[in-house]
Structure 1
Amino acid sequence: MNRQPLTIEVALGARSYPVWIGRGLLAEADRWRATLRGRHALVVSNTTVAPLYLQRVAAGLDGLAWSSWLLDDGETHKTYANAGRVLEALAALGATRDACVIALGGGVVGDLAGFAAACWMRGIDFMQMPTTLLAMVDSSVGGKTGVNLPAGKNLVGAFHQPRAVVADLDTLATLPPREYRAGLAEVVKGAAIGDPAFFAWLEEHADALVARDEAALAEAIARKVAFKAAVVARDETEQGERALLNFGHSFSHALETAGGYTALLHGEAVAVGMHLAARLSERLRMGTAADTTRLVRLLERLGLPTAIPVGMQAERLLELMRLDKKNTAGTLRLILWRGIGRAEIVADVPAPQVLAVLAENAR
């Protein structure tokens, strides 16, 4: 594979930024160090990732006043309290308004660090250094930051774009198989909502992706990032088109919350949520059974779950879905589809229809 990284630009005018995708990028400090504007940096990571990669980043921070702050690994730690602890770490560092928070880890680290950066002195720079496939293809791009509450996922947050995204493919070598498969769900989602040709490509290359074939993986990441970057450039704060990126997420966030953020990884919940959204689309006479079958078959070939976990009650899931941020005036507003590549926002979805789909797919 070519060692020269691929660069995808997220075009937001004066706030545009690059997404660099390649190998060995964490150690290429000359590239990402140039985006740091001040003399203070706080590296936020977790206890799994930091022993593997923090030293590579630290080598590039020589000469700066910097420190690190680590949280335990897992979605349960993406809390308002931990965001407060990151802010305290910034205070201890003496971080000024030109400081930068560097998020070294997966989606939990990126969301939490970005939210803290959005809050410190009403917003300072941050940089994404995603180390999971899911974070590389989704959460590190687009500026959504936030934390979870017991009532629901990502209910507290802010739009805050990074200065750069450094996606070092070498970090995927240490990614556990389950985490890797979870990232593939977000790749499928991008194709499912707006790129039928990419969906067909994924079907053709599913076995190579499962085997972590380097060329197939690099192409899948690049195509998904380019797709999301284009959507974000057109609709940064989710006033319209960007909401389509939440295909299946009303279901998946409810599943994650019902499972205490431990039963399913985010990507696994997205896989189940996409299946449920496709089934609901069928029920509402939008999508077809044939397209649902293609989606389920691809997800299962990639080793992803498609069924609601045992013990989750349909009524409870519907209750949690009512808290989703996309809803308006107490009505259910969901992202559904008319088939592969044709997602759309659907307002006033009848709750009994949603409940029926949940009940039919619960075990």
Structure 2
Amino acid sequence: MQFLSDNAASVHPAVWDALKAADTPDTPYDGDALSAALDDSFAQVFQRPCAVLWVATGTAANCLALAAMVPPHGGVVCHEEAHIEMDEGGAPGFYLHGAKLMLAQGEGAKLTPQTIAAVLDPIRDDVHQVQPHAISITQASEYGCSYRPEEIAAIAEIAQARGLRLHMDGARFANAAAFLDCTPTAAAGPVDALSFGFIKNGGMSAEAIVFFDPALADVARYRRKRAGHLQSKGRFLAAQLQAMLEDDIWLANARHANAAAAEIGTACAGRLMHPVEANELFVRCTPAERAALRDQGFGFYDWGDDAARFVTAWNTREQDATALAKAVASL
């Protein structure tokens, strides 16, 4: 009964079917019919024009998006617990050629206009200090908390007022949209670029960078090639994305994962460290309690010395979620 990570979940059957169907000769790189249709497919999702590039990993999606916005001498404001700071092995510095991550605070790993301003206000406008060029937020956050549309709008307002670009790391964007029960447009807000996660949600090896400014996409295409992410058989990446968008599979998968997390969260009572607003749970557990759960067959990650992280997925079995809920409740 695995709750280690949604990265470990199996690939959705529709993705396998799409990969098989795509196994016919077509134009190489991103010149195939499936890749060419991505802009229109995502425009239907977000009800606004966009330019979409596929890449193989979420790390590449985040860093290529930011590299199109931020020069090597610039900075990116992000939360101190952000993926780009904590979980991407220095990739932002590599892709952005040394640009600085400017760390801010906020409850639930979410930024606010106030915590952003606390980073920006002390910076002098001179060549001796790194100047900010972008803000990056994560939807849902690294602690499974979802930004409400009005929260994103407030951050977008400070970004616009300061002349900064706004990037969204949407590794679990689907789970946030499902939790908020709003349109994808509202869940994304007025960002310049979105790293739309699919692999955690039933995809195999494809993520999407959705640019709402075509000029940024033009820059990113060259950077994607230079970074080694322009795959020669790109139709297989495009096929995965198209399959997940078909019939809103991406959203149905997220709803299933969220429902499993919500069931477990209800049983955790006062143990929760953060509200359950996606498919992650951070639960206070002693070492002995964690050992007891593992003895019952549950897989999960320790979170520090006194907590555990449980992550549900699109294919989490209902009986497994119910079993974990009962096990935690009985500790």
- Specify the TM-score bucket, using the shorter chain as the normaliser: 0.3 to 0.5
TM-score w.r.t. the length of structure 2 is: 0.41
TM-score w.r.t. the length of structure 1 is: 0.38
Kindly indicate whether structure 1 or structure 2 has the higher relative contact order, using CA contacts under 8 Å at least 6 residues apart. Answer: 2
